Structure 1
């Protein structure tokens, strides 16, 4: 999954006249540094399901893991389209990000080992995962399947001076 530079567009309707489009590299830095993300999936009956989780940015995608029988994993079996969000709850400061894409299961064990190392480096030893049979294994929590979400479209919302809305379109 390449870290290709997408086209950045500032939406003047929702941006201060002094605002400029934010480079994708700045958004990637924020995505990589965020500690908590909110994942939105769609239930079989069409209702949304939203849950907070942790994740890592690697290989041009946001990655998260979940138990194979959890609601979000069940939802993804029927509909892989997701939205991941992160940012701050403040109104007049900070930056919020929205990533839209398709969640793709990661089963390649060398890649999973790299991702497991990234999880532990970011979140500490309590988030240590072994890799076995194409899944993460945590001795205290059991098995987790891993998904990658390469962005299809992303949005950034600058809050405060200057307010801005940037859209990144990926080919």
Structure 2
């Protein structure tokens, strides 16, 4: 991992990647009042066919050192990712704002899908593994997720940039 301090101009130290991942490991609940700007929303940016960005909120999880989200493969973001897997994920916490750049992969491993379904259910979204064992279903999801089944996506980070929102401040980019 390469670390670049983006706050040298202000003589601030580089942020520590382990402090970022420790915070993410502690959870970023989307329930109001649970942190962030009243709650944590993860923003996913994909690339439209004409090259323009498409940004949408997703219900993400941070598990095993990476972001995961779900959506229908026929949604705009699902079609964009099938055509071009490059994306960014952004989240604001009390301690920092974070942008992760990378690519996604659709995950169909039954054990992994079941483990993530359990994590989403534990967080309050009553999803379950569908009859195929490789996707999710639930009584509801975000309207932008489309109709079930919903595929599970894992973000494979290429780089990340965090800007501290608490003293002493700082900004750092990591390349993996």
Q: Does 2:111 match 1:110?
A: yes
Match runs of 1:52-67 below 5 Å: 52-67=57-72
Aligned 1:24-63 pairs, distance under 5 A: 24-32=17-25, 33-35=27-29, 36-63=41-68
Which of the numbers 85, 90, 110 marks the counterpart of 1:80?
A: 85
Deviations 1:73-117 (A, max 9, x none): 0110111000000005xxxx7410000010111000111111111
Spell out structure 1 runs of 4+ moving beyond 6 A: none
Structure 1: tracts of 5 or more residues without a match: 1-5
Report the TM-score, using the length of structure 2 for normalisation. Answer: 0.80
Give the Cα–Cα distance (whole angstroms) in 2 for the partners of residues 132 and 28 of structure 1: 34
- RMSD (Å), alpha carbons: 1.9
Among residues 58, 73, 76, which one is paired with 1:71 in the alignment? 76
**Matches of 1:132 and 1:99, distance apart in 2:** 32
Q: TM-score, normalised by structure 1?
A: 0.82
Q: Give the C-alpha shift of residue 159 in structure 1.
A: 2.6
Aligned match of 1:3? none
User: Does the CA contact (< 8 Å) of 2:99 and 2:162 recur in 1?
Assistant: yes
